[in-house]
Structure 1
């Protein structure tokens, strides 16, 4: 549910994951691997197997392992005593856990038996990756880097491969920068490495970027890094990291833009961390400072685009209020919406307004607002009509 909030309000939300095990038929697993030009990894396990459970809790849930496996493999779990029995028999599995690495046609390229901690599991996966050209090239550059090769072209290419496969680069970059002379960043090749691989608002690379913030493309990069760090703080529920990221917004944005961004980020972070009182404070500030001023008649005439954007923002914030804000704090947003719907025939906004009224216990006016939303959706052949009609039924039954 929180992911929906973040997408609506505009910052997005990126999960920092684990191995994604597909739940599909074996034929679909092979088809997916072939379409994505990946190998297949099969975890053959039993429910009573202790080492199998250790793989789940210690290895498959590891963030770096998950990203790496998701980049190069389509992964599948096979219970050898249930849905995976035929697969276990076909590949002669009689000890658990067994890891099977295959090509997209199901031909075995590598396997292992027993528990492997993360470093050893990665070694097994790397060995399997030699079966594909992309895997061979990636591990070639990775091995050269890990053996201490710090040639700028090699570092650039290795980190580029990691970005292509959605693997983190920031910490590796920082390890390189810490051992380099300070004047190295005067060289264009190393500047390119820093610009493309700095991911968080910390470290030598980010400090250098801040000193170059007057350059337009670098300013855009800093904005992206701040947003990326906010998302990371949400995922890790790290308030200190979040507050630190906010401190950099003022350094790269004009005051009004900085205020808007910080308020929006605060709503996102509060939703992700379930701090609904802080969320209500931020939402009210967002309403007063960023939405209401753009909804006046003068604003509508002077800047129709900004006016429509304000209505879209109001609709998003209404949904947030109806889902997460206590009913004793709904008056301001209800008054704002009431003014707008007198002028605008907007079924989505009306439907959100109905939810707010319902939450306040004003069932009669909630029914009236949702009825109008249904009529507008019907008259405009809106694809949301069926959902709007179903919502009206639930409001009438007081089952929203």
Structure 2
């Protein structure tokens, strides 16, 4: 009897320990998790993350560690963490995961029941999980909504509900907005209600029905708007353009990037710093898998950057900039201004030249095959070193080139130096650290 009591106490302590440690993410393959979910009649909770994703780390160190969340999720779900760039590549592709963190709940058939993107669901993990449990028995689960959406393109009431549900799930509403606008009879396109609807939505892209309605009624909307709304109307077109460019780059969507390029050619849009017609066109070629066209344009683009000014002229200008800004008492007071001052010391114009060269060269490196293309990379790296000796981003590219050439020891040493010099503002520093580990293990990058 005493032995049974001790065993029971140990069992209860073990259960309590599991719960107190937060969410217990199982070391299971996806197919194994599906089988377990079917056997236990549970949903699978999946955290899609990457090593370089800052918000993913916030969830992992915060909400996922909370005992109350652990108790709820360990009781109700089979929990998995999948790195979308490693062991979870196939599943990320299957569920079209492009943003991180993405949190999904799937049933034992592998169908999505509930979905959320970003860290906001971490503020109420139990509420988020409860929504998933409710959705699993509701006709409005994520998967069922997608199925109904495909069949109800002319159902105005459903499409409005679809937009609402997608907003609640924190997922993209753009397709729902477009479908609803094509069939809605709630108000006229020229009405103030339509203007307010368009201004309230953040997922409107170029080439959409929403953009068409806005452009057709812009002048009329100005007569209806308050002074504050007029400012929003004036910013709307360019905001939609910038949002579309970012989304096309993030999702690597060639068709959307094609429309972005068409809009940019009109000359009415301002791009974010570093983007222009050439960079958008290079993106389009890459996303379309037209790598030869990308490489030829990349060569022209980088050569044009190198020929804009002589190295001597750039250094002269940068010396003047540094002398001026180094006297500013606001610099050097904290880590952020330290980085800014370091950039000015390296050279403002030099950095503005090196950055786009290295960004483009990194993509070029992925597809470089011929001796001439490899010599191009060497030439560009050598030029960047002349502008800014020992620049970490140039070191990093050079390390990758050495590794590809079979010079592993030199590559590892230079990669480590590059990582050591990277400021904390480099968002994907952990990705480069992962590449270093791959080099040390003699694995493919």
Identify which of 236, 254, 258 aligns with 1:243.
258
CA deviation map 1:277-310 (0-9, x unaligned): 1120232233234576487324534474453354
User: 2:213 — aligned with what?
Assistant: 208
Q: Secondary structure of the equivalent of 2:289?
A: coil
Question: Structure 1 pair 188/31, CA: closer, same or farther in 2 (3 Å)?
Answer: same
1:373 aligns with 2:382: no
User: 2:169 — aligned with what?
Assistant: 165
Question: Structure 1 pair 248/30, CA: closer, same or farther in 2 (3 Å)?
Answer: closer
1:334 aligns with 2:334: no
Query: What is the root-mean-square deviation of aligned Cα atoms in Å?
Result: 5.8
Question: Structure 1 pair 345/161, CA: closer, same or farther in 2 (3 Å)?
Answer: same
1:221 aligns with 2:225: no
Distance 2:187 2:166 in 1: 26
Q: Is the 8 A contact 1:260 1:290 kept in 2?
A: no
User: 2:192 — aligned with what?
Assistant: 188
| Structure number with higher relative contact order (C-alpha < 8 Å, ≥ 6 residues apart) | 1
Q: Secondary structure of the equivalent of 2:206?
A: coil
User: 2:225 — aligned with what?
Assistant: none
CA deviation map 1:178-219 (0-9, x unaligned): 456898334333223234165443343212334649712442
User: 2:17 — aligned with what?
Assistant: none
Distance 2:416 2:157 in 1: 68
Count how many residue pairs are aligned between Structure 1 and Structure 2.
298
Query: How much does 1:246 deviate?
Result: 1.4
User: 1:300 — aligned with what?
Assistant: 318
Q: Is the 8 A contact 2:258 2:284 kept in 1?
A: no
Distance 1:40 1:390 in 2: 33
1:280 aligns with 2:295: yes
Q: Is the 8 A contact 1:267 1:282 kept in 2?
A: yes
Q: Which runs of 5+ in 1 are unaligned?
A: 1-19, 43-59, 79-98, 110-124
Q: Secondary structure of the equivalent of 1:335?
A: helix
Question: Structure 1 pair 146/247, CA: closer, same or farther in 2 (3 Å)?
Answer: closer
Q: Is the 8 A contact 2:45 2:104 kept in 1?
A: no
Distance 1:288 1:100 in 2: 48
Distance 1:368 1:164 in 2: 51
Identify which of 361, 365, 383 aligns with 1:322.
365
Q: Which runs of 5+ in 2 are unaligned?
A: 1-28, 48-68, 80-92, 115-124, 219-231, 322-343, 424-428
Q: Secondary structure of the equivalent of 2:266?
A: helix
Query: How much does 1:128 deviate?
Result: 0.8
Q: Is the 8 A contact 1:370 1:392 kept in 2?
A: no
Query: How much does 1:229 deviate?
Result: 4.8
Distance 2:307 2:289 in 1: 26
Q: Is the 8 A contact 1:173 1:194 kept in 2?
A: no
Identify which of 315, 338, 353 aligns with 2:398.
353
CA deviation map 1:91-121 (0-9, x unaligned): xxxxxxxx9989x99xxx9xxxxxxxxxxxx
Question: Structure 1 pair 298/249, CA: closer, same or farther in 2 (3 Å)?
Answer: farther
Distance 2:156 2:358 in 1: 54
Distance 2:240 2:176 in 1: 19
User: 2:138 — aligned with what?
Assistant: 129
Question: Structure 1 pair 190/310, CA: closer, same or farther in 2 (3 Å)?
Answer: same
